[in-house]
Structure 1
């Protein structure tokens, strides 16, 4: 049995010519060595009301029916669900992972979401589509950052125990400051490496004493197991780091000069928060409840590294686990 093949453009030209000559469907089929049903179906599906049967028009109609497009182009409900989560600040990988966790099967890949957004950006020439993406970039790629040297009298990050680098043990933090175009005010960002929980404290000015006191007040209520160490870059605002060691017993470590990427957790957190807090933001005009909502959205977004649980879920398990250990309850 011969395998069926689609009609070619040349065959469609022959159909049009023979049809104009007054031949029947069976005569055309015999000439082209095709089944009469094939010719009948071709004429029925690809004949225009006004132009009749034209080879170019028939070829275009067939191509249009065979084009399926992106999965998100075809599935309106899935597209709306994906765009809603992108608007909420989720990354494509978080969306794909959460769908798989909820449905128990792979629903869509993160690469499909990326390709859909970039296809829309190219097709519509509307740069607003980039705002759906975590870094809001026109083109995909990586960017690097620099720093400045301040290392005297500080414990190097290379002296940290290997357990901290593995992220498997909770209680190890990273801190940095989120700066804005307006000079002076900033946000002090603290990030826990295991759970990825991220906290922010407004700072009117980046004074070393104030920064150290804020971090002390932030970490003091936690169980000792959840505040073992903290890593900084070489900014002068962390000059009073020894207060954390003396008052809370926290070990402090510092990145190499011009290498803030060595505390990648808090750098990544700041990059994600930039979507809601761009550099043009004036921190003094941001209401406390607005900042709380931004942090709540960040901490309740699932993460691939956590098995698509959220940082809030993970940290709550750690926190309550420490509270329930023997000797941790009030006596």
Structure 2
């Protein structure tokens, strides 16, 4: 029965012709299907637009209508960098919406010229689209918009080889300087650009990282013009170096060289995302504009403003100042047990004494000693040390508000 059905479906195929016969008629080489065709370029372009706004890959995937694993795979395989141009294509090429319209009209047995008239295209464009991008795996030509879009995207790819993959001398030059292993002909090491003086702030173990003596991609790109002023083949932009490191299948550089970058990241971090992260604990109900008006004119006591002061050796102390009377309370922040003895653990407890939990406990101990009418509001900057403000407000009855972005602490101006 199956043999008879197959013969009925392929009755117009010449005797002895192979299955690829219809693809040969479409004037294209055989295309191996990867399974379900991937979403259109328009969907992927919208995904990367959303990534640029600072949201996560999971949120961007749900907004464009693909699964979370697909969005995560797109982001990781591209190293956090858009692998396609974000420029909207011109009207010269058929869009996915036009292909959907062609598929619907074709299913209604409407002719090529009528389809061309309805969508405003040349009949030759429609005829060529139906011949080249129709699905042929079922044994006959069936035009489906999703398959046609995938085939158009596959044939539109340009096998442009990265310059680092074809120029061995340039690739070796870039790799040596990224790793900080530049040597003279006699074997002596060439010291790379001197990094800025390290002051021991924020990242105490930075001097131990490999990239402390390595060159950045931008330094390498500028140095090429000095070392090879007359050789135009020894030119590459710093962005091309980043793409070769981050985008899978794009570059010829060793993947492990990402550890030599100044950030030490294996994925590029969108700038908008890094700007949003430190203020994740600031919700709409605790922004500065929601603070009561009586706290601004200093007419009523009980409104406080606080700040964290970090001194030498990572010592710290908290200050809270009452706006009307200028009364100041110092919040003791002792280091926790194990500081200096237990090695730092990522996402572990902050033993310095000014983590969110330690700061909450110290502020609660100081504020609960005051009468209830003198602890109405507390204004703080957007530091992460007060990320547990909800628990603090619950225990003390003091409403917490956060200063606007980019403002200096008002306590320091008094």
TM-score bucket (shorter structure): 0.3 to 0.5
| Higher RCO (CA-CA < 8 Å; seq separation 6+) | 1
